[in-house]
Chain A
């Protein structure tokens, strides 16, 4: 661009002095970029952070890569069942457990029921479970004890409450107190550890009761709503899924072209489902930020035109003293790039600071990506330089003789 490094350095320094001499121009040129880049970095980081939070919770629930859920009733993932649901039985669960690649299975009966204490009443999900539920979901008790084999064998009317449900119904000291589930009195023997929220699922709002009690005293049915299957860690996931599918189809006497009357849900599908909304929102907000960036580019272009108009005589003077058209082009392009770099860096720093604040006050994990921040600054610089080219070219073309007259 310029003849030698020291010459280029001199022009760059001159350009820097010029932009620093007008703080107002500098502010207005970089303001839009600061806002745009700040929005981009914070939206991306919080979106990504939310995904990581979901992933962390799923992993915390032992729903990593070596587990899956079987839901009663065929149909689409997480939609209402499209077939009969009453075919998924305890015997199916026992048959699955006999596969040598299966570690263990946790069967569940589920219903939304009213649960009342003398203090409060809530409508929440009530799950009939076995003791294995605690281990398979990596979900211990925060207080008291979990449902044990005796509870199941004797169909005891005992329950373990989710953390929030316990707080809502019984306040600080729930152990030993009684709640009424669908009109039947249950003794609270434990409170689950706090797990948090995934999307719109409040994990800490639930009531667990022994599966046998649920079957014979609450739901009065023999079919299961779901079962979580834990596989050995070295097992081929696809093969295991296929084997279980074939087993269930055979046990349910399904014809070749008849659809499954159950659903096998993998962790990937759950992750996809839970993060889809976040992803869509993130994409939408990112595109709005990109528009901000374009608007900033237009603002930069306009201010650059104003600067060139205002500094016409100085540009002509530089040309009189030996600046070539290329030198002038470099002078103003460098100026735009510096402003964009400053705006982008400040924007991305503020964006990361916002992420730090949000993640310290909410359950969302902060996700900091140096690569994304650098990319944003780079995009800001490229966009601004593109928008700043036209005014810089105009500056380069100014005829010194006419202006200095």
Chain B
């Protein structure tokens, strides 16, 4: 088993005017290649903070975090940007698509920051959109797509750079029941084809698509 994520004793403390708030209180977490893990828990218990640290968008206050064996806590901002670009794909609850760009252009966004968009990237983006059932919507702007379709564009964007890890933060949070199922089936298919996924959700039905479920409460995983 190839270990992608290895976290030991990860803590995150926010300093506010009212004092210190400890959001993560010592997280031990491992993600192996091919995993599909759902992190569940009520709002405000540290799910998003953990996802930000997993996605290298934030740094832990304490503890160690190895990504594919590399200690990410020692990386510079520039190195973290590079790691995010090459190794991690993000899917957000609110899709975060660029409104003036077409579906195809949205998918190609990560490639701009890699080496510039090349012909083979465009081909791959088209293939991904085709695979996700959006082959006929390449030139559509986000406003011309349904919620489910927008989330599928966001998934294609997350996959374009062939990341080691796909992070999905409440991916069905903004979708109706049928779109949610549609998106989850896509995740399941991706996982079946070898994509490693970590997803947060507070919906048990969404979590049921994952092969492992972890519950976070009060900044710690509950066994």
- The answer to whether A and B come from one shared complex is yes
Residues of B within 8 A of A5 (CB): 116
Residues of B within 8 A of A400 (CB): 57
Residues of B within 8 A of A21 (CB): 99-100
**B:158-199 near A, CB below 8 Å:** 169
**A:4-25 near B, CB below 8 Å:** 4-11, 14, 17-18, 20-21
Among A10, A313, A404, the residue within 8 A (CB) of B116 is A10
Q: A324 contacts the other chain (Cβ, under 8 Å)? A: yes
Q: B92 contacts the other chain (Cβ, under 8 Å)? A: yes
Residues of A within 8 A of B58 (CB): 399, 401
Among A6, A313, A320, A327, the residue within 8 A (CB) of B55 is A320
A6/B115 contact (C-beta < 8 A), A322-B82, A404-B92 known: yes
Residues of A within 8 A of B96 (CB): 313-314, 316-317, 404
How many angstroms from the CA of A254 to the CA of B179 in the assembled complex?
A: 109
A324 near B110 (CB under 8 angstroms)?
no
B158: nearest residue on chain A (CB-CB)?
A321
B115 near A7 (CB under 8 angstroms)?
yes
Q: Which of B48, B96, B99, B112 has the most CB of A within 10 A?
A: B112
Whole-angstrom distance between the Cβ of B29 and the nearest chain A Cβ: 17
Whole-angstrom distance between the Cβ of A327 and the nearest chain B Cβ: 6
How many angstroms from the CA of A318 to the CA of B116 in the assembled complex?
A: 14
How many angstroms from the CA of A8 to the CA of B113 in the assembled complex?
A: 9
How many angstroms from the CA of A6 to the CA of B110 in the assembled complex?
A: 13
Q: Which of B2-10, B65-73, B83-91, B145-153 contacts A (4 or more CB under 8 A)?
A: B83-91
Q: Indicate with 1 or 0, residue by residue over A315-335, a CB within 8 angstroms of chain B CB atoms.
A: 011111111110100000000
A324/B52 contact (C-beta < 8 A), A7-B114, A7-B116 known: no
Among A14, A313, A322, the residue within 8 A (CB) of B81 is A322
Q: B117 contacts the other chain (Cβ, under 8 Å)? A: yes
How many angstroms from the CA of A321 to the CA of B101 in the assembled complex?
A: 16
Q: A118 contacts the other chain (Cβ, under 8 Å)? A: no
B92 near A327 (CB under 8 angstroms)?
no
Q: A239 contacts the other chain (Cβ, under 8 Å)? A: no
Q: A238 contacts the other chain (Cβ, under 8 Å)? A: no
A323/B116 contact (C-beta < 8 A), A21-B99, A314-B98, A404-B96 known: no
A318 near B115 (CB under 8 angstroms)?
no
Residues of B within 8 A of A80 (CB): none
How many angstroms from the CA of A318 to the CA of B114 in the assembled complex?
A: 12
Q: A405 contacts the other chain (Cβ, under 8 Å)? A: yes
B100 near A321 (CB under 8 angstroms)?
no
Among A322, A323, A401, the residue within 8 A (CB) of B86 is A322
A323 near B101 (CB under 8 angstroms)?
no
Whole-angstrom distance between the Cβ of B127 and the nearest chain A Cβ: 19
Q: B77 contacts the other chain (Cβ, under 8 Å)? A: yes
Q: B122 contacts the other chain (Cβ, under 8 Å)? A: no
A318 near B100 (CB under 8 angstroms)?
no
A322 near B84 (CB under 8 angstroms)?
yes
Residues of A within 8 A of B118 (CB): 6
Q: Indicate with 1 or 0, residue by residue over A148-171, a CB within 8 angstroms of chain B CB atoms.
A: 000000000000000000000000
Residues of B within 8 A of A4 (CB): 115-116
B59: nearest residue on chain A (CB-CB)?
A401
A321 near B113 (CB under 8 angstroms)?
yes
Q: A3 contacts the other chain (Cβ, under 8 Å)? A: yes
B113: nearest residue on chain A (CB-CB)?
A322
Among A7, A325, A405, the residue within 8 A (CB) of B52 is A405
How many angstroms from the CA of A321 to the CA of B110 in the assembled complex?
A: 5
Q: B215 contacts the other chain (Cβ, under 8 Å)? A: no
Whole-angstrom distance between the Cβ of A332 and the nearest chain B Cβ: 15
A11: nearest residue on chain B (CB-CB)?
B112
Residues of A within 8 A of B157 (CB): 321
Residues of A within 8 A of B92 (CB): 317, 404
**B:93-125 near A, CB below 8 Å:** 94, 96, 98-101, 105, 109-118
Residues of B within 8 A of A404 (CB): 52, 57, 90, 92, 96, 169
B94: nearest residue on chain A (CB-CB)?
A313
Residues of B within 8 A of A11 (CB): 112-113
B113 near A327 (CB under 8 angstroms)?
yes
Q: B78 contacts the other chain (Cβ, under 8 Å)? A: yes
A19: nearest residue on chain B (CB-CB)?
B100
B98 near A323 (CB under 8 angstroms)?
no
Among B85, B100, B101, the residue within 8 A (CB) of A322 is B85
How many angstroms from the CA of A323 to the CA of B110 in the assembled complex?
A: 8
Residues of A within 8 A of B101 (CB): 17
Residues of B within 8 A of A327 (CB): 113
How many angstroms from the CA of A311 to the CA of B86 in the assembled complex?
A: 24
A400: nearest residue on chain B (CB-CB)?
B57
Whole-angstrom distance between the Cβ of B69 and the nearest chain A Cβ: 20
Among B57, B77, B113, B116, the residue within 8 A (CB) of A9 is B116
B106: nearest residue on chain A (CB-CB)?
A317
Among A7, A10, A321, the residue within 8 A (CB) of B90 is A321
Whole-angstrom distance between the Cβ of A133 and the nearest chain B Cβ: 73
How many angstroms from the CA of A14 to the CA of B77 in the assembled complex?
A: 22
How many angstroms from the CA of A371 to the CA of B109 in the assembled complex?
A: 39
Whole-angstrom distance between the Cβ of A395 and the nearest chain B Cβ: 15
Whole-angstrom distance between the Cβ of B83 and the nearest chain A Cβ: 9
How many angstroms from the CA of A63 to the CA of B84 in the assembled complex?
A: 76
How many angstroms from the CA of A17 to the CA of B117 in the assembled complex?
A: 15
How many angstroms from the CA of A327 to the CA of B100 in the assembled complex?
A: 20
How many angstroms from the CA of A40 to the CA of B169 in the assembled complex?
A: 54
Among A313, A320, A399, the residue within 8 A (CB) of B84 is A320
A7/B113 contact (C-beta < 8 A), A21-B100, A401-B57 known: yes
15 sampled A-B residue pairs with Cβ under 8 A: A6-B117, A9-B116, A10-B116, A18-B100, A21-B100, A317-B92, A318-B113, A321-B113, A321-B157, A322-B85, A322-B114, A323-B112, A324-B78, A401-B57, A404-B52
